[in-house]
Each structure stands twice: as C-alpha cells, then as structure tokens.
C-alpha cells in the first residue's frame, strides 16, 4: 500500500493564505490600538507590499462634494507634488472604482483605455493594476490601487481577494480617524456659538505660543458689559440669542486674522498669531467699534451690546506664557471697564512694571 504524496504546491499556498490573514489580523489589531491614521496606514502599506509585492501603491480619500479623490498615501514612483493633486471620479481605474463602488483587476492596464495616465509617470509600459473602492456604510470614502510593472506583471485572483481585505482595513482606519477627529473637534467647540470653547482656546493658544520666539502672539479679551441685565429683562433664551449674535460679530470683525473663542459666560477671546503690538490694537479697536454699531433685535426689544476690551502681546518678551498673556489681557480689559475706555492695551513685556 503506497503512502500518499503531499501536495507541495497546495501546502505552500495554504501557508501563504494563513500567513496573509494572520498579518491582516495584526493590522486590525493596530486599528483598535492606534489613534494616528498615518501610523496605521504606514503599517498597512508595509504589510501589503510584503504580501503582495508591488511597484507602487496609492490610497486616496474621497472628497464627495467635488467628486474627486485626494491622495493620502503614495508609495513608489509617483512624481513630485503628487500628494497635492486630485483625481476625478470616473477617470483612471482608481477613479472608476470610486465612481462605481466596485473593485477592478486589470492585468493589461497599459492596453486598457480606462486606465488613463498620471503626468510624470512612464507612458505605455506594461502594467497590472488592482483598484478597490473604500466603502463605509454604503458610501465610497476613498479608493486604493496596487501597481505592478513589466512584461510579466500580473495579479492573481488571490492577490485580488487579499487586496480587497486590506482595502477593508484601510476603510476602517480612515473612518476611525474621521470619527476621532470629529469627536476631538466637538470637544473643543462651544455648543451655543460654534466658537472654540475654553479647551479649544487653551490648545490654540499653547500651539501659537510654541512659535512665539519667532512670531509674536496677541490676545484680545472681550467682556460684555452688564450682560446680566439682558437675561433679567429679556430672558435667558434671548440672552443666548445675543451671545450667538456677538459670536457672529466677532467672527466677521476678525475674519481670517485670528481665532475667536468663547471662554465662558459672556467672555470671549481672540488669538492673533502672529500679531505685533500695533496689529493687536487695530483688531481690538475694530472689534469694539463693530460691536458698538450692531443692534441685536429680539422679539422682546432691541439690545445694543457694549463690551470692555483688553489686548496684550508677547512682542519683545523673552519667556512668554499662556498665563502671563492671559493675565495681562484680563488686566487691560478690567482697566477699560470703569471708564468705558475704547480699548486698553497691555504689553506683556511691561508686566510687573
């Protein structure tokens, strides 16, 4: 009775499949243990290129309203500046996969008119491409393409299947990153006004101060005068309307020159980076004048909300800090209150003088 001869090819394929899915499982573990999208995608790309050797790999995020893809990972022979480009839905195999929401395997991409061409890459060379949409809850959020080059270039059906599994992992990574980013943003926004809240203010101010040695930081503090009477005479709902209106006035007055925050109650702040002493004064005066000229119309009457405003700057300060800048801006604001001076400016460099 003869012994059975093991099928070496089948055994090797089984080992490859087991190894591939084991490494895929490790990628999913990374998705649960890491917060940073770039770290997860870097690990994913390395694993894909190890299991499915390719010349290039591209992962792009969908910008749905513009119907285009924005590259976020481009490994291989991509031209300089490619990550700053966009790829329209429906153009090229990756754009076609995104538009149709279906994966594509094309082992003769150089002969396929659907493949298109990326400027700055070789023209007409033999190439095989797998393009897979990244689909979350029925919506295309991106796409991934793998590329092999040369006369013998091709992908197997197993490569195609494995690429789709890795695309699922990329989808989860992007979705998790989006969700975390949205939650972080919600956590630093004021629900009533949509401005940055105290937490957001602290983060933004500390980030600005990290570069204060080369770019001076200005801070404008705005405190609404006698706001309690608005709540007492018109009710708290109308008071909320006034706060929301003031937030809009501040946004309009500051424009793109600073970050507007609501510190709490009827106190607001504007972070200016960079800002000289003169620039901080100009912004503060513009905010004061804009508020003074605006009438808030409520169902129970009209309110012209005045404010006391103080400004401070780190210009010329050897060791600026958030505490010092905030203290001096507050001091300037309180100096303005009794006499209703238009704006008081404190130079942080004068602190303690």
Token digits of residue 245? 């209106």
Are 247 and 201 in contact by the 8 Å Cβ rule? The answer is no
Are 166 and 20 in contact by the 8 Å Cβ rule? The answer is: no
The residue annotated as part of the active site, out of 30, 159, 223, 266, is 266
Q: Which residue do the tokens 């933004």 mark? A: 204
Residue with tokens 């499915």: 52
Phi/psi for 114 (5° steps) reads -70, -20
Across the chain, the runs of DSSP E, i.e. the strands, are 56-63, 68-75, 87-88, 104-106, 127-136, 139-149, 218-224, 259-264, 267-272, 296-298, 301-303, 307-313, 344-347
Instruction: Identify which of 118, 43, 97 has the alpha carbon closest to the alpha carbon of residue 73.
Output: 43
Could you count the other beta carbons within 10 Å of the beta carbon of residue 108?
13
Our CA dihedral for 171, 173, 178, 183, rounded to 10 degrees, sits at 140
Counting Cβ atoms within 10 Å, is residue 65 exposed (0-12), middle (13-18) or buried (19+)?
exposed
Rounded to 5 degrees, what are φ and ψ at 25? -60, -35
| Residue 168 a catalytic site member | no
Catalytic residues: 266
């Amino acid at each position: 009775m003869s012994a059975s001869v093991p099928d070496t090819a089948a055994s090797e394929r089984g080992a490859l499949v087991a190894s591939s899915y084991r490494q895929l499982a490790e990628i999913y573990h990374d998705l649960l243990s890491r917060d940073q999208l770039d770290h997860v995608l870097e690990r994913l790309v390395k694993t894909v290129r190890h299991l499915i050797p390719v010349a290039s790999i591209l992962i792009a995020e969908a910008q749905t309203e513009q119907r285009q893809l924005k590259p976020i990972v481009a490994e291989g022979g991509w031209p300089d500046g490619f990550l700053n480009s966009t790829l329209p839905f429906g153009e090229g195999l990756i754009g076609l996969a995104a538009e149709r929401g279906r994966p594509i395997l094309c082992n003769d991409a150089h002969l396929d008119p659907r493949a298109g061409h990326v400027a700055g890459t070789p023209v007409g060379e033999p190439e095989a491409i797998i393009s897979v949409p990244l689909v979350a809850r029925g919506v295309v959020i991106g796409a991934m393409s793998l590329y092999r080059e040369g006369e013998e270039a091709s992908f197997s059906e197993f490569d195609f299947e494995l690429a789709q599994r890795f695309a699922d992992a990329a989808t989860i990574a992007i979705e998790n990153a989006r969700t975390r980013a949205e939650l972080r943003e919600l956590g630093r926004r004021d629900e009533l006004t949509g401005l940055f809240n105290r937490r957001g203010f602290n983060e933004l101010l500390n980030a600005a101060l990290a570069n204060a040695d080369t770019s001076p930081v200005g801070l404008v503090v705005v405190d609404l005068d006698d706001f309690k009477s608005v709540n007492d005479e018109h009710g708290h709902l109308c008071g909320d309307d006034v706060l929301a209106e003031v937030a809009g006035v501040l946004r309009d007055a500051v424009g793109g020159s600073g970050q507007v925050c609501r510190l709490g109650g009827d106190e607001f702040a504007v972070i200016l980076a960079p800002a000289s002493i003169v620039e901080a004064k100009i912004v503060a005066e513009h905010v004061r004048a804009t508020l003074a000229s605006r009438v808030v119309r409520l169902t129970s009457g009209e309110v012209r909300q005045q404010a006391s405003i103080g400004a401070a700057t780190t210009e010329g300060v050897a060791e600026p800090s958030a505490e010092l800048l905030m203290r001096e801006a507050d001091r300037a604001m309180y100096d303005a209150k009794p006499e209703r001076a238009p704006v008081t400016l404190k130079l942080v460099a004068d602190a303690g003088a």
